[in-house]
Amino acid sequence: MSSKSEPTIHQCECEICQTGADPEVVRHHQQMNLLLSRLNEPQRRWYVGSLSQKPGSPSDRQLSLISGLDEKTIRRGRQELEAGLTALPYGRQRREGGGRYPVEKKDPELEAILLDIVSPHTAGDPMSTRKWLNCRLLDIQERLAERGHRVSPPVISRLLKKHDYRLRANAKERESKQHPDRNRQFEYIREQETKHQAAGHPVLSVDTKKKELVGNFKNSGRIWCQTAEQVNVHDFPSDAVGRAVPYGIYDQQHNRGTVYVGQSADTPAFAVDNIVRWCQTERLEYFPEATHLMIKADCGGSNSCHSRVWKRDIQEKVANRFGLTVTVCHYPVGASKWNPIEHRLFSEISKTWAGCPLRSFDDVLHYIRDTKTQTGLTVEAHLVTQTYEKGVKVSDSEMDALNIQFHDVCPQWNYTIRPQATPAPT
């Protein structure tokens, strides 16, 4: 439905229409006024002005009663037509300079006083003309009123923009202190990725998505609906059905995501078990002949480069069990947004369930499975009911027994774990 109101149609005030003496004339005048209601201001006066020039046409007074236009307006329209409409440029309804004068022209001191008021509250960028304020428009309006200048907040906003002030949100653009090997690690990840893909081996991007309270809680975003969903006022964990822990595995070669939704803690054992589940299903379907596996993971979290449990379980549950040589490459600290799973899978899931309360784990699985993109992304989702304990320790002797080889490039982030039955090459 249009937000604009219907145009007002003038009711003819001529004697014939008032008495209804001639139905044909009444109908003609009604159609004429219907047409006038759809024309803009100059078009109305030109149309009625052209009617006044026809031989045997009604007088200006009569046309005024019929159309509702003032006699002076009709005469003006006739004169503009006779002059070839040269007085009004094409595309304009009024001459340039017409209309209400801007408040700053009626009050020449206003801008100077406004800048004087905001000056103590102004900060700026020394490398550009950008400036910003730490006070509200209503505060500025009150201070202007105290000095005898009454203006509205929209006028203040317009004047501030005129002087290079803008509404701006904080922009996350500054990185924290970067590791000296940051760029080298990105290059090395790309080298390993190209090598594994060329050999037909799977390259997986893994991570844990933001944990979600499951229950009748607000979920950020908006959806098309006739009435808004009614959700709890407060997001108290005590009111939740549980907490969903979505661990994602993104297969880059097939643009396919698999999300395992846990109900327990986000631990290294949970992460590795999900990789095991992927190897038991997706690997057999898409990479049945693969002997190597590459995993790209963040530097922290359940798949942290510092986690002993992560390395031990990769050895025992993946490398030994499936006979796979597993190469793990971690992204540098603070670079998780470059992990493909973040912007190719997790962001799309967030779009799918935006504005939709996650009232049950079935809802969580449903929205994840419904995630699709125009580039062909498909997503599977599975519920994991197993409980995982935090604080599991791995001894030095267990670490020494691992068949792990740290790479020459950034060894803290890159390593290969081979099946223990196969000795590492010297």
Q: Tell me if 94 is assigned to some domain.
A: no
Is residue 414 within a helix (H) or strand (E), and if so which, with residue range? strand 414-417
- CATH number of the domain enclosing 338: 3.30.420.10
Enclosing domain of residue 293? 182-219+235-417
- CA-to-CA distance for 260 and 382, rounded, in angstroms? 5
Query: In a 10 Å sphere around its CB, with 0-12 CB exposed, 13-18 middle and 19+ buried, how is residue 42 labelled?
Result: middle
- Does residue 224 form part of some domain? no
Average pLDDT on 269-288 reads 95
Any domain includes 6: no
The tokens describing 279, both together, are 């190897």
Mean pLDDT confidence for 364-389: 95
Q: Looking at the structure, tell me whether residues 129 and 189 fall in a common domain.
A: no
Q: 51-82: b or e for each residue (b if 16 or more CB lie within 10 Å)?
A: bbeeeeeeebeebbbbbbbeeebbebbbebbe
* pLDDT higher than 50, residue 247: yes
Is 225 within the bounds of a domain? Answer: no
Centroid of chain to Cα 154: 27
> What pLDDT was estimated at residue 66?
92
Is the model more confident about 132 or about 233? 233
At 93 the pLDDT is 64
Q: Residue 426 has what pLDDT? A: 40
The total number of structural domains that make up the chain: 3
Residues 119 and 258 in one domain: no
Residues 381 and 255 occupy one common structural domain: yes
Could you give the percent of the chain with pLDDT greater than 70?
89
Please provide the size of the chain in residues.
426
The stretch 334-357 carries a mean pLDDT of: 91
pLDDT surpassing 60 at residue 425: no
Only one residue has tokens 């792990």, namely: 404
In a domain, 172, yes or no: no
Among 46-60, 114-128, 237-251, where is mean pLDDT lowest?
114-128
Structure tokens, 154: 């929209």
Assess whether 118 and 20 both reside in one domain. no
Q: Which helix (H) or strand (E) holds 258?
A: strand 256-262
Helix (H) or strand (E) holding 246: strand 242-251
Is the confidence at residue 423, as pLDDT, over 60? no
* 366 located within any domain: yes
**Amino acid in the structure at residue 31:** Q
Per-residue confidence band for 1, with pLDDT thresholds at 50, 70 and 90: very low
**What is the structure's pLDDT at 98?**
63
Decide if 47 is inside a domain: yes
Q: What pLDDT is stored for residue 286 in this prediction?
A: 94
Which of residues 50, 82, 114 is at a domain's end?
Answer: 82
Lowest mean pLDDT segment, chosen from 168-177, 321-330, 373-382: 168-177
341 and 246 in a common domain: yes
Distance, CA of 42 to CA of 90 (rounded, Å): 11
Does 150 share its domain with 51? no
Domain edge (last residue) among 49, 82, 115 = 82
- At 424 the pLDDT is 47
For range 352-364, the mean pLDDT = 94
pLDDT of residue 18: 85
Instruction: Determine which of 137-141, 208-212, 252-256 has the lowest per-residue pLDDT on average.
Output: 137-141
Checking 419-422 for CB contacts under 8 A at 24+ apart, the result is 419/319, 419/320, 419/323, 419/324, 419/325, 420/315, 420/319, 420/320, 421/320
Q: Are 143 and 188 part of one and the same domain?
A: no
Looking at the chain, the whole-number percentage of residues with pLDDT higher than 90 is 64
Considering the domain architecture, whether residues 326 and 239 belong to the same structural domain is answered as yes
Same domain flag for 241 and 288: yes
Kindly state whether residues 332 and 301 are assigned to the same domain.
yes
Q: Residue 317 falls within a domain, yes or no? A: yes
- What pLDDT, on the 0 to 100 scale, is given for residue 336? 84
| pLDDT mean over 354-373 | 94
Is 132 a residue whose pLDDT tops 70? no
Element (H, E) at 328: strand 325-330
Residues 299 and 406 in one domain: yes
Q: What is the average per-residue pLDDT within 26-38? A: 92
Same-domain pairing of 240 and 372: yes
